[in-house]
Amino acid sequence: MRVLVILFVVVAIGPAIIVDALARVLDRRRLRQVLRTRVARCDAQHPVELVGAWTCPSCHAPFEGHGFGPCPHCGEVAYGLPCPCSRIVVNPLAEIGP
């Protein structure tokens, strides 16, 4: 009986753990790809520098680095960065948590 319970738990929870681990691996790969990009383009194709000095939208602390990366102080990921033409370049990582 105990074996059946263990088997049930493995079959019930196992796939969820595997899917979760796979999602984490893909998220990390996407994070690395995005953080390698140094220039993004707004909808009007203006280049927007991604590496520089930023202010965190959540804790308002200034930091140097990648504008799409997590804030080194609180881990917040900016939704997007402003282009001088007033459009927003949306951060492809915005929906990924810290």
- 8-state DSSP, 66: E
Decide if residue 27 touches Zn ion (CB under 5 A): no
CA distance 31 to 96: 9
Contacting residues for 50 by C-beta, under 8 A, at least 6 apart: 37, 38, 39, 40, 66, 67, 68, 81
Contacting Zn ion (CB under 5 A), which of 56, 77, 78, 93? 56
In the complex with Zn ion, which residue's Cβ is closer, 30 or 41?
41
9 contacts Zn ion (rule: CB under 5 A)? no
Fill in the per-residue mask, 34 to 53: x = in contact with Zn ion (CB under 5 A), - = not in contact. --------x-x-x-------
Structure-block tokens of residue 58: 């959540």
Give the side-chain half-sphere CA count within 13 A for 64: 0
Is the CB of 29 or the CB of 41 nearer to Zn ion? 41
The count of chain residues that interact with Zn ion, using the rule CB under 5 A, is 13
Residues lying near Zn ion in the complex (CB under 5 A) = 42, 44, 46, 56, 58-59, 71, 73-74, 76, 83, 85, 87
